[in-house]
Structure 1
Amino acid sequence: MGALAPLLNRFGNERALTVIVFTLDESSYSRELAPLAGHYPALKLGPAWWFHDSPEGLMRFRERTTETAGFYNTVGFNDDTRAFFSIPARHDVARRIDCAFLARLVAEHRLPESEAEQVARDLAYRLPKQAYRL
């Protein structure tokens, strides 16, 4: 993560800039990237990707990053066209995992239901649209 230091030192506090980071090293999400995203307004966590793009991997991403980075320092779920016809199913799985995570927070009285509903909408629509300027 040291390679990010010059970029973040120079532009990390620029709210007009969005830097979206992805990693194949799942442990670096909670160890390095989530704390950085929680500190630098320009830095956003890309979703669990490639090897972590499964129901279990998506849930681990939420469990390991949300406490430090929050929901709003992530970009929701995005996809590529490597498997074009699976995109709707993959987005459905991502939304279901996010909602399961939110439901657990509601059941544990850590998040009001009305706030969880708003976060679910933001994760599914507003955050990706905002991050990728769509």
Structure 2
Amino acid sequence: MPIILAQTDTTVGFLSQNREKLYEIKSRPSTKPFIKVYKNFKSFLQDGNRVINSRKNLVRRSKKTTFIINNFSFRVAPFTLNSQILRDSSWFYSTSANRSSERFSREFCESKADIIIEDINGLVEKDSSALIKLNRKKKRKLR
């Protein structure tokens, strides 16, 4: 699976279904997991994931929010770019398009990406998603 450089709902990101290639590009420890981005809530459920009933609407309707349930981080975010490769896949591992702990560098990103998907607005570094940890009893905002 190729490494895709694209504008996500939050910031510029690398998307791929190959986790190992993303670890290599980011020079990131393999103990630090990636966010799994689903194109819709139905894809999230079809992947074998579950959310308790009292939290389903929160996850389904959230915008620019990443959730952590039992050390599994995910986001439900429709791909807004009109690209066949994004429409054909129901999920991707996602990470910000930069070296670990550094700012966005277009040269670095273009050298590492196999496919670049860009619209008229270009690639713009924006704020990262909100991060909420969910469990049965409570939710806690981490970022």
When normalised by structure 2's length, the TM-score is 0.27
When normalised by structure 1's length, the TM-score is 0.29
Q: With a CA cutoff of 8 Å and minimum separation of 6, indicate the structure with the bigger relative contact order.
A: 2
Specify which structure has the higher proportion of strand: 2
